[in-house]
Structure 1
């Protein structure tokens, strides 16, 4: 291991007062492993070659992009460790071609994010926002006015049957819910393991009482939920998004809600983030909005930090990290061969 192995930690995971929005990141483990680390200055949208140049590894706490060209112009860089599961904006194949390993933390994210999806689903199923407002405003005469559809016998359609989608399926089945799913891999065996029926996107839209989005954001999934998808949904159905805001055409969603074409939505992610203060999604009674943080429980942040830091130490010490996004990068990693 290079005795001067240096790690840069992005500033987008910190609040204006300088504290971490994730709590203790456990960065002392880098020091114990003999690695040097420091915080990067704030960057707008992407990690630049100049910002990358002094570092062997970057711990990316937010959603900064990274292009192949920037990595190519920073030959010292060996590893980008994502705090979290998403990696939209990062050119994973391009970085692999440059010998830069990209890791994420899917195991730490899986259960908390699935529980966040379930939280939104249950809030809609029981019309929690409307019932809360009625109680807070002293409108006890409205008791029973806000009867939700419930969950027993209802159908959940999961868009994206990856690790989080499978976890959602495992959580809702014991509630007496039927599970449909669509996934770009078309993995029938995986669907069968979690008791989901693989169907087309059109059929999922038409038959689901709750559509749950857990898919990754890619060029092909951008605005996957558009006006046509929303028109195909039942007027009694709800949309839940814990994936990425860009999966949904929000103009189409606003129009569908205003016209009563769907019953409501639960959104932990939006596009853009943060939304405009006057966005009608923020004030509708049939919409639950949270600030892309619903899964951030204490156990979540601790587990994600541990996974990300362990990946950095593994690569620094010549070991293969557990969650490399492109295995080809491991075969020709910069500066050192990574062994099992």
Structure 2
């Protein structure tokens, strides 16, 4: 039975990743239709016209826009959004709302701080939602290196979740009400000293493709992995044993004691697939595993698996990309 409770999408610095922003709005619309409620988007940024066009394309019921600089820091966005969500129209359904942000480190920090400010429930990075008749929310998450699915219940206060949206606009013929809000004065920005990167290779942060090496690849594989990553516009990662062996710097370590990555494709070369390593990979990421051990655990979570020595496969991939460059 519909409970008419709303879904809110929050987008700081709108216009910086238009594909993900439109997907988040479409996700809000899809969940609102499932729940029988309304879908809102609250955006902060400088490009009002584009933000409004996105909201209309997603078929949202209401679009709220605040004109702000695109370089605000996380704590400043917390101030801006917390104040905006208390305004009439947004505050009316906030206590029963599910609030969504695009999953990335800054947005997840924003979601947690915003939940604390609003007395809500921080759900973290979620993969799905179930709504019950009294209006409760059950959020599904992965844990222990994607080996376990857990469910979190939120029955009071706004529930705030980070998602990696995959939905596409359904071209619904819905009128979108457009609202402009005056952004509040946020706290001062923290001083930041920018240190230029000295490493010539692409950084892991934000990479859509990651080529990662492990104990099974050996030190000799890493020059080839860097070359392959460069060919496909990706970045190189490494498992803890590879970093401990000195084959890759600690800045490239992926796993529970390293970095968390969420590329579209993760190429795991000579990586066994321990829970500690898999905990550093987004559950939505498609894994391509290359390992000479046919019984390696990595094959249990990979979409594509190849039992082979890297020496027989990686150079062939590089050569194929030279003949037909990746687009």
Between Structure 1 and Structure 2, which shows a larger proportion of helix residues? 1
Higher relative contact order (CA 8 A, sep 6+): 1
